[in-house]
Structure 1
Amino acid sequence: MQTDHPTRPSFRQTHPRILLLTSQYFLIGELKAACERLGVDHFFLDFGTKEMDLDTFVTQMVSTLNTFKPDFVLTVNHLGVDREGVLTTLLKTYDIPLASWFVDNPHLILDTYHHIFEGRTALFTWDFDTVDSLKAMGFDAVFHLPLGADPTRLVPHRTQPVDQWRAPISFVGNSMLTKTIKRIQACNPSPRLLEAGMVMAKAFGESGEPQAERFMRHDFPELLSEFDALGTPERKQAFLTFITWQATLLYRLDCILRILDFDPLIVGDPGWNELLKGRAGWRYHAELSYYDDLPDFYPLSTINFNCTSQQMKGAVNQRVFDVPTCGAFLLTDHRRQIETLFEPDTEIAVYRDPDEIPGLVDLYLNAPDKRARIIKAARKRILAEHTYDHRMMSLMETMRQTFE
């Protein structure tokens, strides 16, 4: 395969030229739109979800690298980067840096990749807690980059509200029931490891440790031999993901049970019908479209309730930015990194322990002026500091300083 290419000085323009890889994650759409608003030359290469043979993949990449000549390649969660290391080897040949922005736990993703240290790679992570652990893996360039919002996309579409969406309090999120089951099937643990994993998941969720494997090695060392017996990186990754998702399931269920007295509307997968079977006082709605529905949905809840995935013990999730951007009120669990983004109780309402949930729900349901002040302050902060335009500017400048 011919990969000869003319050398070209990089980062010579005001903004770098960026090759965006694949659209399997919603955030690529936000980054593409930010590039357009900022006047950044970019090319979007979508591999989709279909399998692609090696020659086709290399031919398509070589053609794009030779014609577009990017200053760097950008992807989210390493999507578009093949596990065998073909892309990273190709980028090394062309001396083109790779930027991968992780918005899910990188340790539940990278363990199945080969040749991850080929070429010049910068990792950006939404969770500051993973910066040091990624450096410990051997990555030299690791940077913290939180999530954000795109106020141009989070806009209402309907002229009339959907009445069945109205609720005193709502929660939008996955029950994690099916996801947990699928991870169990993928790792196929021994009966003992599965039983012990259920116990470990609960303990992991109650701990402050952000990494499931590190928690296991410290608190459940008796499981290490059976964990190692899983053999392949894929099965081990599936087991650690099962621990994380099961911890999330237990935590979310505990939080949701505490709002049942307030007639909540639960939006998500059918797993909620299983987890809340026999419980009264709540309504179920199937999953809603992120772009088409949620901007109209959030303002119809007096309180939008949030309980964060246990894959992130310190970082905040997308909902923290989206709900205020839509002009709606959010009550969320406290995370260590939240103070770097918002001023708690002034720009965002938080509960620090699930026991606080009922009292705070009752407080905010009966405090419309307080809710309005927090919504206004949060949205002002987001527009000033936390849009995806801000995040792209930060990422581009970091890439320039690191690889120019």
Structure 2
Amino acid sequence: MPRMFAAGPKRAAADAYEQGRSSGLQQGYMDGYFRGKSQGIVNRVLYAPTLRNLHVLFVSSGKGFPYSPIDEAIIATLHTMVSQVTVSDAKQDVAAEASRTRPDLVLVLDGMYMPVEQMDAIRSMGLRTAVWMTDDPYYTDISVGWIHHYDYIFTLELNCVAHYQNLGCAQVHYLPFGAFPLHYRPIAMPAAASRDIGFVGTAYPKRIRFFEPIMDQLMRHRTFISGNWWERLPGYARFSNRIEVNKWMGPAETADVYNSAKIIINLHRAVDDDDINQNSGRIPAASPNPRTFEINACGTLQLVDEREDLARFYTPGIEIETYRSQSELLEKIEYYLANDQHRKDIAHRALERTYGEHTYAHRLNTLLSVIFP
């Protein structure tokens, strides 16, 4: 009898082991299939633009990180699109470089640190100039100081097109950022810890007010947050083991986090956070932020707060999911964690749309087509 009694727990343990092993193998197979399909989509739809016989002098933002990855994306992409690229920055004598090399276009990212006297000198040479605005509409109070010194204005915010036109700029064009495939792409084996939900971003005041009431519900899952200032969250100490604070993550680490999660939350910054913005005209934001494209480029389901112009880029419910409140966000998190295949299907459609339409190569091709029709 003692032997028979002992056999029961042993058999139960063996059965539990086999069940866990079988479940793990099945989960591993499904995850491998999902990531393999993601890579197949990238290989099939990656956009290769036509090479143009142009010389572009690119002037980086001069702001350093976190703007430098955008500089890198534009420079690397231009090298695949035009016959010659010269790189400078706002701290150098760009006018002298333009006089020496005589480029077809001087393209400036952001323009905040670029002396307007330099741009006036370049335009006096008869050279085309353009600026691609990085922070619209959040700093429109100060951008008025330099936008009139360029032939072409490109803005990532739809509502700033009319704003700049009303200020007297003749050539204003809507051009959001996109995804850079060398930075944001599916990863077969992410190094970051596996998670159900992830959020990457600075703890702006309105983000804190949005997340604070739902932290308990979010943390019932494997939820991790990364970004500056999250120690300001009331009750931060309770969740500090899953909140990484005061760290700017580069593209590689950010992409790794995106790939490690089943769901990534995207919450846009608010236009009326007066402590951090310079937008006294309260120009509303209609356009998706750059993170929208970068998350989707990793093949991960994105839950993003609604913006008016989002549907121009992704079809809600088909290629991306949206929310309008904390309760709707929580409801959709529960749904997609319980409906794995639906989550993966949307993520794959977003990945295909991103690589097919929303890379920096697409955006720069549009920019060059406007200037050199």
Q: Same fold judged by TM-score > 0.5?
A: yes
Structural mapping, 1:351-366, within 5 Å: 351-366=323-338
Q: Is the 1:77–1:106 contact (alpha carbons within 8 Å) kept by the matching residues of 2? A: no
**1-structure distance, mates of 2:220, 2:196:** 11
Matched position secondary structure for 1:150: coil
1:305 is matched with 265
Structural mapping, 1:2-401, within 5 Å: 14-23=52-61, 24=63, 25=67, 26-47=69-90, 57=92, 60-82=93-115, 85-106=116-137, 108-109=139-140, 111=142, 114=145, 116-118=147-149, 120-155=150-185, 161-162=191-192, 165-176=193-204, 246-247=205-206, 249-251=208-210, 253=212, 259-269=218-228, 271-277=229-235, 280=238, 283-286=242-245, 287=247, 289-311=249-271, 313-401=285-373
Write the deviation string for residues 353-391 of structure 1: whole angstroms up to 9, x where unpaired: 333111111001111101110111011111111110000
**1:400–1:329 distance in 2 versus 1, CA, 3 Å:** same
**1-structure distance, mates of 2:117, 2:337:** 54
TM-score norm. by structure 2 comes to 0.74
The alignment covers a number of residue pairs equal to 304
Q: Is the 1:15–1:396 contact (alpha carbons within 8 Å) kept by the matching residues of 2? A: no
**1:248–1:289 distance in 2 versus 1, CA, 3 Å:** closer
Query: What is the deviation of 1:267?
Result: 0.5
Write the deviation string for residues 222-261 of structure 1: whole angstroms up to 9, x where unpaired: xxxxxxxxxxxxxxxxxxxxxxxx4455446567676344
Matched position secondary structure for 2:148: coil
**1-structure distance, mates of 2:327, 2:318:** 21
Query: What is the deviation of 1:80?
Result: 4.2
Write the deviation string for residues 86-127 of structure 1: whole angstroms up to 9, x where unpaired: 122212311223211113125615636646424x52111111
**1:316–1:114 distance in 2 versus 1, CA, 3 Å:** closer
Matched position secondary structure for 1:16: strand
Which letter maps to 1:68? T
Q: Is the 1:342–1:381 contact (alpha carbons within 8 Å) kept by the matching residues of 2? A: yes
**2-structure distance, mates of 1:309, 1:111:** 18
Q: Is the 2:131–2:154 contact (alpha carbons within 8 Å) kept by the matching residues of 1? A: yes
Which letter maps to 2:126? D
Which letter maps to 2:128? P
Q: Identity over aligned residues, as a percent?
A: 21
Query: What is the deviation of 1:338?
Result: 0.7
Q: Mean Cα displacement is larger for which, 365-374 or 19-28?
A: 19-28
**1-structure distance, mates of 2:231, 2:138:** 31
- Structure 1 residue ranges without an equivalent (≥5): 1-12, 177-245
Matched position secondary structure for 1:332: strand
Q: Is the 1:73–1:98 contact (alpha carbons within 8 Å) kept by the matching residues of 2? A: yes
Which letter maps to 1:331? L
Q: Is the 1:299–1:327 contact (alpha carbons within 8 Å) kept by the matching residues of 2? A: yes
**1:322–1:112 distance in 2 versus 1, CA, 3 Å:** closer
- Structure 2 residue ranges without an equivalent (≥5): 1-50, 272-283
Query: What is the deviation of 1:290?
Result: 2.4
Query: What is the deviation of 1:307?
Result: 0.7
**1-structure distance, mates of 2:175, 2:214:** 28
Which letter maps to 1:137? L
Q: Is the 1:347–1:378 contact (alpha carbons within 8 Å) kept by the matching residues of 2? A: yes
Q: Is the 2:198–2:257 contact (alpha carbons within 8 Å) kept by the matching residues of 1? A: no
Greater C-alpha radius of gyration: 2
**1:299–1:117 distance in 2 versus 1, CA, 3 Å:** closer
Which letter maps to 1:299? N
**2-structure distance, mates of 1:329, 1:157:** 14
**1-structure distance, mates of 2:236, 2:363:** 44
**2-structure distance, mates of 1:320, 1:156:** 15
**1:115–1:290 distance in 2 versus 1, CA, 3 Å:** closer
**1-structure distance, mates of 2:157, 2:320:** 19
RMSD in angstroms over aligned alpha carbons?
2.6
Which letter maps to 2:270? Q
Q: Mean Cα displacement is larger for which, 276-285 or 353-362?
A: 276-285
